Structure formats: C-alpha cells, structure tokens
C-alpha cells in the first residue's frame, strides 16, 4: 500500500546566494560530470553481455490507444467540433491577455482546480507571461481530457487505461515541471546563477545511483527518522513471532484496562507503524490511552525464502495465530479486531473462515478501515490489473520469488503523480533543494516486498475474479468462505478522496455480512482520512444509520460532523470492550518478551535509504 499519502510540506527556502560564481559553478558541473560518468560506467558493467530488451507493451497501452484513435476517426464531426472549441478558447485567451497588457481588467479563460498546488506561486496570476503559459496549459489539458472522455464505444478496460494515462501525460507536461516556465524556479536560477540546477543535477544523479541505475526519487530525508526513537515510539514488546509476523503487545498507561483485547491488523503492503508515527497522531497510542490492551501485527518484509507463502498462510500465521497468542497472553478467548486496507480484506476472510468452523465468537467486533471486500469497482489500480499484466508480473516474481516493494510503491505514486512525483521533481531537481524531513513520507518510502505466491493469488482471486464476495468462491485451509454466514458486529470507515479503496465500493462490504453494521465516511484520503486524531479536529466525517440504499442515497441522507471518526468509533466499540480489569503487562502472561517494539521485522528495509 503505498501510500496515497499527502504531499510533503514545502521545503524551507534556500539561503540567499552571493550571485553568479563562475568558479563554483564550474566545480559543481565538473563534480556532476564525474558522477554521471561513473553511473554510465557502472550501468555498462551491470548490463555487459545482456541482450537488448525487446520492446513490449505489458500495460496494453498500444492496444488501448489504437482503439481510441479508431473510435475518434470514426466520428470526424465530433473531432472537428473539438478542434473548433480549442481554437475558440485560444482566441479568448489571446483577447483576454491583450486586455491585460493594456491594463484593462479581464476574467481568466481557464483557472486551476481548487486545491491545485502547482500554481500557488503569486507570479502565476500576477505576471502576464506566466499567467498566459498557465492558462494555455489548462485550456489544452481540459480539451485533451474532454476529447478522450467523450469518445463513445470504447471497451471499459480501454476507457480506464486511456483516461488514466492521458492524465499522466497531461500532468507531466505541466509548465510547473520545467525550469523556464516555472516562475519560482526561474527566480531561483537567476538569483543563484544556475547553482540550483547544478545542485538539482547532483540530486538526480544521487537518486539514480541509489536506485542502481533506475530513478528513485527521494521524498524525504531518510536520516531524519529512526524507528523507536522519533517514530514508532509507543512502548511495547514483541511477545510472539512466526515466519510472517511479529505480535506486539503495548504497555498499559491506565490504572484499569478493558477486559477484551484489541488486535490491529495492518496491510502487509507497508509497515505497521503508519498507525504509530508520532505521539500526537498515533492510533495505537490513542487506543492504549483509552484503556485498551492493544496488540498489533507487524508483518515481515519477505524475501525469496518466503516465495511459497500464500494468502492461506497469511490467514493461518496472521490473525488466527495472533488470536491464539493473545489468549495465551491475556487469558481472553476473543478480541475486537481492526483491519486496515488489505488487512481488512484478510479480516473479512478470517470472519468467513471462523464462521464456517463455528468459531466466529473469537472475534467480538470487526472494524474495517478503508478495506475492499467487494472488488467490483476497485478504483484506478484496475488499470494495472488484467490478464496480460498479471501474467507478466507473475513471470517477474517467479524469477525472484517476490514483488519488489519499490515497484508497488511506484504504482501507488502514479495515482497521485502531482503530489508524489512531480512536486519532488520540482523541489529536488529544479530548485536544487533537499527533501523535507516528513515522517509520513518516510513511512511511504519504507516499502515492503510481496511473496510471489500470495500476491498472485490476491490479484487473481480478489481484483480479477472478485471471489471473496461469492458464497464458497474461496476455499482457505480446506474451508469454503461464505461471508453471508458472518454475524459479527462490524464498523466500516472509508475516506471520501480514497483512490485505492473507493468509498462507494467499500460501502458494499456491510451488505455481504449479516451482523449489525455501521458505515462512516471520513474526509480526505486513504492515509490522512484514517490517521486523523480527535485533537487535530480536521476533515470531519459523515454518518447515516440507514444502510438499505446505495452509496449515493446513503450520502445524500448522511449527517456531517466535525472532528475525527475516532471519536465515533470509540462510542461504537464501547459495548464490546467488556468490563474493566487490572492492566496486562507484556511478558507477565504465558508469553515471554522476545524484544522491544517496534521489533526486528519492522526494521527490515528493502534498501539502505
């Protein structure tokens, strides 16, 4: 899960420069040239003797855009109409710009969308030339997107691919991404005598070197954070582990705790500590302070030795093993369970498994955070998931035994390219600044691998075939999974701007089970909407007790609230916490302490960044 995390805060302005220094500039260029030559040499050595790669179209873009071209040419009238509309807008812009040049007021022909951070610099509005460049781009971008979106007769798969990758093309050509057409970069270049571009070149070369010949954009200062020191600091102990996970039990902070423990199951696409970044926004610390005995699964970062691990193994060695361990540690036979993203998908499968085994009382309540159970409309990730792409991916995974974490992260970054790619291109390479130290982006870059067998099963059975929602569609550990047999109380929370687990799709989750359910919609996206403590008082959330209509009907009748959904969840889970008992200290039960949190599994990194 790479995250759809928010863009990093703007880096601090570079210190004033002493103007153009030809000696310093020459030295910097020489250093960059030397570094570039070394990278080229290293690349040649690594690829010596390898045959030239045959061009392929694994994404199926050639086929999709050929289909688009054929449909567009089949309707020349609409094509000509689109060209006339574009010409009209350009003429309007020219007229508006001429009025501005003569000092007359003129309304803009095209304006950035609300929240578009690319054009926040005042010069985009105040300076005639930059305003003209900006509006020219926005007019062309709008026209191109409308032309593509209005084509009729495209297959659903082709339509999604064309729309997504057209947007990537449009974003890439934004004038903010080029030195001469970005006013902030232009000013910095003049002020520093071009030193910013040389520093940016060195940053670029460093990122290529860090990626062993491939560009790995630095999003944050990785050296600014250390697990257990300034992130993932909630005191706890690892009390159980197996091949796939470590189970962390957190130290109590209250004089009494609630009798029924809480198990949190994060996705294994990323590290668990998104739920424990800093004290002020840690869901784990907050739950501990609410008197809950909190356990968290910390998934391993797998290598080729775990290539054979399947989704079934994640079920048996994940939540089922954790529930057994929690019973040993606390004496409690059941627990409240939270599943985040892919962890929520696994939670649904776990509920189906326990229901079939007549053991569903082991989970007293189930909370699903931005979790897909029904994959009918699985969002923009569908662009990357079809037979050709999955087959190609499976071949790559079989060679190594896993999917590289950076490959998954790059896919998620594309979902919000302006925030997670181009903003860093501007900051790091054009302005020549170091990335800002930001804990959320540090976590986002701390990617994890996926075992080949598990990831193939997940993509095919969930995304492609949507079998979890079908009674008996999946069989795990010899048990047919039927969510209709699940009667456990469930709380579903999703985020309005989530690109990974669209809320209108997650809304289908409660309807697949038979227990009492509550659905809550938070503001913001997949990460910020979930990691939203009450003290921040941000985003707000919507509630509606009636779940008998579709998602649009639910939202039309929902009530908006200020603050965080955490408060609503705390009220909901209250009846399932049971009575108060003496605090449980990790290691004082039947499970000994293995090591301190965050544990060794969370410290395994894909790279040394």
Backbone phi and psi for residue 419, each to the nearest 5 degrees, phi listed first? -80, -40
341 included as an active-site residue: yes
- The H or E element spanning position 7 is none
Query: Rounded to an integer, what is the distance from CA 123 to the centroid of its chain?
Result: 32
Q: Residue 445 to residues 270, 321, 406, 605: CA-CA distances in angstroms?
A: 9, 29, 8, 10
Pick from 460, 450, 449, 486: nearest CA to 471? 486
Long-range own/partner contacts, residues 147-151 (CB < 8 A, 24 or more apart): 147/72, 147/79, 147/82, 148/68, 150/78, 150/82, 151/68, 151/71, 151/72, 151/75
Q: Give the CA dihedral 342, 343, 345, 347, nearest 10 degrees.
A: 180
Beta 363-369 vs 245-250: how paired, if at all? unpaired
Q: Give the strands of the sheet with 245-250, arranged side by side.
A: 559-561, 541-543, 517-522, 490-495, 363-369, 335-340, 262-265, 294-299, 245-250, 236-241, 595-596
Please list, in sequence order, all residues whose beta carbon lies within 8 angstroms of the beta carbon of residue 428, skipping any fewer than 6 positions away: 200, 203, 204, 207, 217, 218, 434, 435
Please list, in sequence order, all residues whose beta carbon lies within 8 angstroms of the beta carbon of residue 41, skipping any fewer than 6 positions away: none
| Helices and strands (DSSP H and E) totals, the chain | 22, 17
Q: CA-CA distance, 167 to 462, in Å (whole number)?
A: 26
Pick from 227, 277, 149, 194: nearest CA to 17? 194
Report yes or no: 319 and 263 within 8 Å, Cβ to Cβ: yes
Task: Tell me the β-bridge partners of 340.
Answer: 369
Please report how the helices 128-149 and 76-101 are oriented relative to each other, as an axis angle in degrees rounded to 10: 170
Q: Which of 1, 338, 341, 476 is catalytic?
A: 341
Please list, in sequence order, all residues whose beta carbon lies within 8 angstroms of the beta carbon of residue 272, skipping any fewer than 6 positions away: 248, 264, 266, 296, 297, 298, 299, 598, 602
Q: Residue 358 to residues 99, 244, 316, 354, 355: CA-CA distances in angstroms?
A: 76, 26, 16, 6, 5
Q: CA-CA distance, 341 to 542, in Å (whole number)?
A: 20
Catalytic residue IDs: 341
């Amino acid at each position: 899960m790479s995250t759809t995390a928010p863009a990093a805060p703007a880096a601090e302005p570079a210190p004033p420069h002493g103007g153009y220094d030809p000696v310093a500039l020459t030295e910097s260029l020489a250093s960059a040239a030397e570094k570039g030559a070394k990278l080229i040499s290293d690349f040649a050595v690594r690829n010596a003797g390898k045959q030239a790669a045959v061009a392929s179209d694994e994404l199926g873009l050639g086929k999709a855009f050929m289909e688009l071209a054929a449909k567009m040419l089949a309707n020349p009238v609409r094509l000509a109409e689109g060209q006339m509309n574009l010409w009209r807008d350009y003429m309007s812009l020219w007229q508006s710009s001429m009025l501005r040049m003569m000092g007359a007021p003129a309304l803009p022909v095209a304006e950035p969308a609300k929240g578009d951070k690319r054009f926040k610099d005042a010069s985009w509005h105040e300076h005639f030339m930059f305003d003209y460049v900006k509006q020219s781009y926005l007019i062309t971008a709008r026209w191109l997107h409308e032309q593509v979106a209005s084509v009729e007769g495209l297959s659903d798969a082709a339509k999604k691919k064309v729309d997504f990758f057209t947007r990537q093309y449009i974003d890439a050509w934004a004038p903010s991404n080029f030195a001469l057409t970005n006013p902030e970069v232009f000013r910095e270049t003049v002020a520093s005598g071009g030193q910013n571009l040389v520093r940016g070149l060195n940053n670029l070369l460093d990122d290529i070197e860090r990626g062993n010949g491939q560009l790995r954009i630095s999003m944050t200062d990785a050296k600014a954070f250390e697990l257990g020191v300034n992130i993932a600091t909630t005191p706890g102990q690892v009390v159980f582990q197996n091949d796939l996970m470590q189970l962390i039990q957190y130290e109590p902070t209250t004089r009494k705790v609630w009798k029924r423990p809480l198990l949190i199951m994060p996705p294994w696409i990323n590290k668990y500590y998104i739920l424990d970044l800093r004290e002020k926004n840690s869901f784990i610390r907050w739950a501990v302070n609410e008197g809950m005995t909190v356990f968290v699964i910390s998934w391993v970062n797998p290598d080729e030795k775990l290539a054979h691990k399947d989704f079934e193994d994640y079920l048996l060695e994940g939540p089922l093993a954790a529930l057994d361990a929690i019973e040993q540690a606390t004496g409690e036979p059941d627990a409240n369970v939270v599943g985040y993203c892919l962890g929520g998908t696994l939670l649904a499968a776990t509920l189906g498994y326990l229901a079939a085994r007549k053991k569903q009382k082991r989970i007293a309540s189930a909370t699903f955070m931005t979790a897909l159970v029904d994959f009918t409309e699985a969002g923009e990730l569908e662009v990357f998931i079809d037979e050709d792409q999955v087959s190609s991916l499976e071949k790559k995974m079989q060679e190594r035994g896993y999917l590289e974490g950076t490959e998954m992260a790059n896919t998620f970054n594309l979902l919000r390219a302006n925030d997670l790619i181009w903003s860093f291109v501007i900051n790091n390479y054009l302005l020549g600044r170091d990335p800002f130290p930001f804990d959320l982006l540090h976590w986002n870059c701390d990617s994890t691998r996926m075992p080949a067998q598990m990831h193939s099963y997940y993509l095919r059975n969930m995304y492609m075939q949507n079998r979890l929602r079908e009674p008996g569609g999946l069989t795990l550990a010899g048990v047919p999974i039927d969510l209709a047999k699940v009667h456990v109380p469930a709380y579903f929370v999703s985020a309005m701007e989530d690109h990974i687990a669209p809320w209108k799709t997650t809304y289908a989750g409660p309807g697949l089970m038979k227990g009492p359910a509550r659905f809550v919609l938070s503001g913001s996206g997949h990460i910020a909407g979930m990691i939203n403590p009450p003290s921040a008082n941000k985003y707000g959330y919507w509630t509606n007790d009636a779940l008998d209509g579709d998602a649009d009907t639910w939202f039309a009748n929902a009530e908006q609230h200020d603050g965080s959904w955490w408060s609503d969840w705390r009220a909901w889970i209250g009846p399932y916490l049971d009575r108060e008992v003496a605090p449980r200290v990790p290691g004082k039960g039947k499970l000994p302490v293995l090591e301190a949190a965050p544990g060794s599994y969370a410290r395994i990194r894909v790279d040394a960044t």
